[in-house]
């Protein structure tokens, strides 16, 4: 059993208060206690070394995993990049193919309808333009107005699906950039809506009343099975100007 002592001139003397005695300066251990203490200290040091080693191993493992993840992510990104480039190339190739097919379809349609300069002609011709009465609401009352309805034949065969034909016709006849084909007919602008929307727009801009304006709400499409082509029906506020010869049916 350990003893709590104080050092004197002639050796060591046990203090009565034990470990808490203020005069205690030394602790005398038995050999077993000393060896046990050494063993505990050694074990504690070994555990500390083991913990440091484990921490180092964990750090290295985490760094290895992070490096592996980074490599996998980079590989995935590279695969996506490669796939995207391939998709872009395929898309460009498909676009060129589609444009060539559409060009051939247009030329055949122009030749079939005996339109001159079949390779340069847009393929759009005016079939008929007539005045019609449309009803609209004004101050909770139904009013009527005479508008013009123009049927324009496209170069696209009725074999084309409806949605595809409509999309092509709108993109070509009312392109976002460049000259409208409609402008060649004297249609100067369009209003998104019906005749009521046209009147509302005219209240803000009086010049609209003097312009030939197409109304998108009344725009429609039809498959002319007798002629064999898709047609677009435009409704506009004024009669057409003189239709260019190349846009008249032969």
- For residues 174 and 223, is the Cβ–Cβ distance under 8 A? no
Q: Does 77 fall in a domain?
A: no
Q: Does 172 fall in a domain?
A: yes
Handedness of CA 182, 184, 190, 193 (dihedral sign): negative
Residue 1 has pLDDT above 90, yes or no: no
Domain count within the chain: 2
Q: 172: part of which helix (H) or strand (E)?
A: helix 162-173
Q: Does 84 fall in a domain?
A: no
Residue 52 sits in the same domain as residue 132: no
User: Judging by beta carbons within 10 Å of its beta carbon (0-12, 13-18, 19+), is residue 191 exposed, middle or buried?
Assistant: buried
Residue 139 sits in the same domain as residue 238: yes
Domain boundary among the residues 41, 57, 73 is at 57
pLDDT: which is higher, 229 or 31: 229
For the chain, the 3-state helix, strand and coil shares in percent, each to the nearest 5, are 50, 25, 25
Q: Which residues span the domain enclosing 140?
A: 125-247
Q: Does 118 fall in a domain?
A: no
Mean pLDDT of 55-71: 84
Output the pLDDT for position 162. 93
Q: Does 64 fall in a domain?
A: no
Under the banding of pLDDT at 50, 70 and 90, the label for residue 4 is low
User: Judging by beta carbons within 10 Å of its beta carbon (0-12, 13-18, 19+), is residue 102 exposed, middle or buried?
Assistant: middle
Euclidean distance between CA atoms 226 and 157, whole angstroms? 11
Under the banding of pLDDT at 50, 70 and 90, the label for residue 216 is very high
What is residue 118's DSSP assignment?
T
Output the pLDDT for position 151. 97
Residue 132 sits in the same domain as residue 215: yes
Residue 45 sits in the same domain as residue 151: no
Domain boundary among the residues 32, 57, 82 is at 57
Residue 52 sits in the same domain as residue 139: no
Residue 136 dihedral angles phi and psi, to the nearest 5°: -150, 165
Q: Does 180 fall in a domain?
A: yes
Q: Does 71 fall in a domain?
A: no
Residue 51 sits in the same domain as residue 132: no
- For residues 169 and 221, is the Cβ–Cβ distance under 8 A? yes
Domain boundary among the residues 57, 81, 98 is at 57
Q: Does 70 fall in a domain?
A: no
Tokens of 111: 């030749």
Residue 142 sits in the same domain as residue 39: no
**249 CB neighbour count, 10 Å cutoff:** 13
User: What is the DSSP pairing of strand 3-8 with strand 125-138?
Assistant: unpaired
Euclidean distance between CA atoms 236 and 191, whole angstroms? 10
Mean pLDDT of 225-239: 95
């Amino acid at each position: 059993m350990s003893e709590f002592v104080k050092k004197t001139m002639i050796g060591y003397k046990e203090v009565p208060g034990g470990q808490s005695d203020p005069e205690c300066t030394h602790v005398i251990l038995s050999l077993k206690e000393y060896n046990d203490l050494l063993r505990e200290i050694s074990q504690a040091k070994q555990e500390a070394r083991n913990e440091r080693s484990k921490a180092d191993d964990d750090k290295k493992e985490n760094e290895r995993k992070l490096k592996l993840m980074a490599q996998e992510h980079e590989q995935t990104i590279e695969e996506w990049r490669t796939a995207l480039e391939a998709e872009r190339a395929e898309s460009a190739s498909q676009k060129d193919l589609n444009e060539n097919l559409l060009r051939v379809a247009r030329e055949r349609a122009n030749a079939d309808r005996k339109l001159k300069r079949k390779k340069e002609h847009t393929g759009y011709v005016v079939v008929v333009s007539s005045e019609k009465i449309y009803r609209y609401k004004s101050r909770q009352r139904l009013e009527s107005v005479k508008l013009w309805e123009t049927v324009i034949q496209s170069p696209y065969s009725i074999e084309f699906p409806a949605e595809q034909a409509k999309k092509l016709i709108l993109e070509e006849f009312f392109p976002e950039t460049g000259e409208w084909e409609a402008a060649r007919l004297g249609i100067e602008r369009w209003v998104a809506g019906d005749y009521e929307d046209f009147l509302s727009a005219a209240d803000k801009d009086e010049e609209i009343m003097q312009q030939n304006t197409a109304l998108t709400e009344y725009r429609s499409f039809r498959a002319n099975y007798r002629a064999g082509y898709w047609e677009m029906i435009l409704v506009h506020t004024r009669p057409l100007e003189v239709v260019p010869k190349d846009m008249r049916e032969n």
